[in-house]
Amino acid sequence: MVTSNRCYFPLPTEHWRNRWVQSTNDSRFGHFRLSSGKFYGHKEKDKGLQTTQNGRFYAISARFKPFSNKGKTLVIQYTVKHEQKMDCGGGYIKVFPADVDQKNLNGKSQYYIMFGPDICGFDIKKVHVILHFKNQYHENKKLIRCKVDGFTHLYTLILRPDLSYDVKIDGQSIESGSIEYDWNLTSLRKETSSAESNDWEQTKDNKAQDWEKHFLDASASKQSDWNGELDGDWPAPMLQKPPYQDGLKPEGIDRDIWLHQKMKNTNYLTQYDLSEFDNIGAIGLELWQVRSGTIFDNFLITDDEEYADNFGKATWGETKGPEREMDAIQAKEEMKKAREEEEEELLSGKMNGREHYFNRFHRRNEL
C-alpha cells in the first residue's frame, strides 16, 4: 500500500507466494505458476500468474491494508493474456472485503466488485462489471465486448463518487455512463417506492394529528390593545377539533407531489452508496477455465485516474509492441519448420502431392 490508496501487486519474483494465498477450499482447485508465456514483450516484466490445468476452478487472492473509497474515485486495473486462445473460461478479477477468508475462497465468497472478460463459445464474449450493494449483486445491463485474441490486454474500471463509470480496454474507453441508469436496479426502485410510500403514510398521519391539535380559528379577531411592535406577531387562537373526519385528507397534502419532491430532493439511489465500499481489503481470481494458459499481471487499485493511465503506459504500453513482434517471428518460424517437414515427407513418399498442395494453401491463408 502506498499513498493515496494505491495498491500494486508486483509479480516478477519467485516470492510471489508470500503474498498470494491459494485457496484450499477444494483439493481440485487448479494451480498457478509464474510465467511470461510462450511469447512476450519482456521475459521478466511480463511474468504473471498463469493457470496451468485444464477443466479446473481457480481461487487465489492477495490482501492489502483495508481502505474506504468513500467520496473518492476507485480505479481497478490489470492485464490479462489468453495465450491459449480462450474457448471457455473467465479472465476477470474480484475485489473483496478485508474479512474475506482467503484459505476458503470459493464461488460463494462475498465480493464487492467483479470485473473483466468472460468467454464461452460464440455467445459469451463480454466484460463483466458486477457491483454488490443492498446484499445483492447487480450487473451492468449493457453488452460490453471483450478482446478474444491471444495477446495481453489492459482492462480498467473507473467508478466515481458522482455515480459515473468508465470501462477501458488498452487505455481506450469502450463504455461509460451512469450507474443509476446502466445497472439493473428494478428491485431497489421497488424497495425505495415502498419505503417512500410508508414515509408518506407516516407523514400524513403526523399531519393529521397536527391538524387536529392546531386548527386556526379564522373567525377570531386581534385584541384591541395588542401592540405589534412591543408584543410581536399576534398568535391567533387554535381550535381543538377541526372539520377533518369521515376519511377526508388534511388539505394541502398531495401524495404524488410529495413523493416526487422527496425523491427529487434526496436522490433515492445515493443512499445505497452504489460506488462506495467501506472495507476494501483483498483482490483475487476466482474463476473456471476449460483450457488453461491465461496470464494475469499488473494488478492495480488506486483513486487516481491519471496515475492508473500512466502506470498502464509504463507496463503494458512498453511491452505490447515487442510481444506482437515475437509472436509474428515465432509464427513464421513454425510455418517454415512445418513446410520443411512436409517437403521431406513428400520426397520420402510419406505424403502425396495433393496433401502437400492443401497444406501450403492452408498456411498461406493463415499468414
Give the whole-angstrom CA distance, residue 181 versus residue 186: 10
Q: Is 112 annotated as a binding residue?
A: no
Backbone angles phi, psi at 98, to 5 degrees: -65, -25
Q: Is 111 annotated as a binding residue?
A: yes
Q: Is 94 annotated as a binding residue?
A: yes
Which cell is 278 given?
A: 467501506
Q: What angle do CA 256, 259, 261 make, to 5 degrees?
A: 105
CB 301 within 8 A of CB 67: no
Alpha helices in 129-224 (DSSP H): 179-182, 186-213
CB 37 within 8 A of CB 81: yes
Q: Is 118 annotated as a binding residue?
A: yes
Burial grade of 360 (CB within 10 A; 0-12, 13-18, 19 or more): middle
Which residues of the chain form beta strands (DSSP E)?
7-8, 20-22, 32-35, 48-51, 56-67, 74-82, 88-90, 93-97, 113-120, 124-133, 136-139, 152-159, 164-169, 172-178, 215-216, 238-239, 280-289, 294-302
Give the whole-angstrom CA distance, residue 83 versus residue 341: 25
- Give me the residue label for grid cell 476458503: 104
Q: Is 196 annotated as a binding residue?
A: no
Binding residue numbers: 92, 94, 111, 118, 286
Binding residue numbers for an alpha-D-glucoside: 92, 94, 111, 118, 286
